[in-house]
Amino acid sequence: MFGFGDAKENYDQLQDGRHEAKFSHELLAGGASFAAFKAFEDHQRSQGKPVSHQFAKELLAGFAGAEVDKLMESKGADWIDRERAQHEAKKRTEQMYDQHYGGRDEYNPEYEAPEHFRNY
């Protein structure tokens, strides 16, 4: 199963300044899922309100799609990879969400954030 460590590693690889059309959709999806989950955490913690798991996953899907688009533009990948990367990023963010918050009744910003975001 894909996790936070994998996502962080993919994200870091994509941030090294290289611009290659050959980046795999898996690498793009992994990096996008990390960035999307971080954006979701920042957004929800600034709002300060608990939300249902369903709503949280819908937000994550939106953040994941946006992050894939940003990475695709900056890295020069083609649109065919974009569709695959978006699908995979949404799946991976949902897996990460379930790993961290799945055992709880809802997402609550008072819960501890994933440790992988401490330096970002």
pLDDT tens-digit map of 3-23: 667 766 766 676 665 555 455
pTM, full prediction: 0.73
Tens digit of pLDDT for each residue in 38-75? 999 999 999 999 999 999 999 999 999 998 888 887 76
Residue 115 predicted with pLDDT over 60: yes
Do residues 13 and 32 touch, judged by C-beta distance below 8 A?
A: no
Query: In the chain, what is the straight-line distance between the N-terminal and C-terminal CA atoms, in Å?
Result: 23
Domain residue limits at 109: 4-117
CB 3 within 8 A of CB 37: no
Q: What is the pLDDT of residues 83-102, one digit of tens each?
A: 888 888 999 999 989 988 88
* Number of domains composing the chain: 1
Residues 6+ apart with CB under 8 A from 56: 40, 44, 97, 101, 106, 107
pLDDT reported for residue 63: 93
